[in-house]
Amino acid sequence: MAELATIARPYADALFKAATAGAGVDLGSTAAWMDELAAIAADPQLRQLADNPKVTADQVFAVFTGVARSALPDMAKNFLRTVIDNGRIDALPEVAAQFRALVNRRNGSSDAVVYSAFPMDSAALSEVSAALEKRFGRKLNLAVQLDESLIGGIRVVVGDEVLDTSVKARLEQMKAALVA
């Protein structure tokens, strides 16, 4: 079986071309509904339903549109029908990731996840954002996730780059220095 990344690439490319070619189509809103479809597709119960030979493509489509938080635009419905008809629901999370990468490349930005031991208010997040953008040399789209195992500090993941200023990381560094 082909890798999901290989399967997802043509879908992400086609969606990106359609979104950039269409008048009045916002890449941000397209990425938002794409992320929502990917989250729905990642649900194991939905996958089990879609894999059932007694369930039709129309029924799977109805479940997707019924579970979606907001009404899907026509482009989303057409895209979803194509994915369902081709039996590629399992590739939707990867399609969303590749689509977001194409959008980021066009905007000259990157997605970043900030793992914090404690909730961050908007003032602290904007301060961290400015410092991180300077450190990584590009605009970052930040998402914050709580990780109580960090004890304190933050851990930032931007693509394959990691910046770890957490107490847990410092303790691991001290442990390694003592053992060496």
With tokens 């709580």, the residue in question is 146
The string of pLDDT tens digits covering residues 132-173 is: 899 888 899 888 999 888 888 888 888 778 888 887 777 788
- Cα angle 178, 173, 152 (rounded to 5 degrees) comes to 130
Given this model, what pLDDT does residue 177 score?
86
The model's pTM is: 0.73
The partner residues of 111 in beta bridges, in order of sequence, read: 141
Residues ≥6 apart with Cβ < 8 Å to 47:
41, 89, 90
Which range has the worst mean pLDDT, 33-42, 74-83, 153-162?
A: 153-162
* CA distances from residue 95 to 6, 18, 73, 99, 176 in whole angstroms, order as listed: 10, 14, 18, 6, 39
Count of CA atoms in the C-beta half-sphere (13 A) of 63? 16
Please check whether residue 23 is in contact with residue 109, taking contact to mean a CB–CB distance below 8 angstroms. Answer: no
Burial tier of 161 (Cβ tally within 10 Å: 0-12, 13-18, 19+): exposed
The pLDDT tens digits for 105-131 are 888 888 889 999 888 888 988 998 999
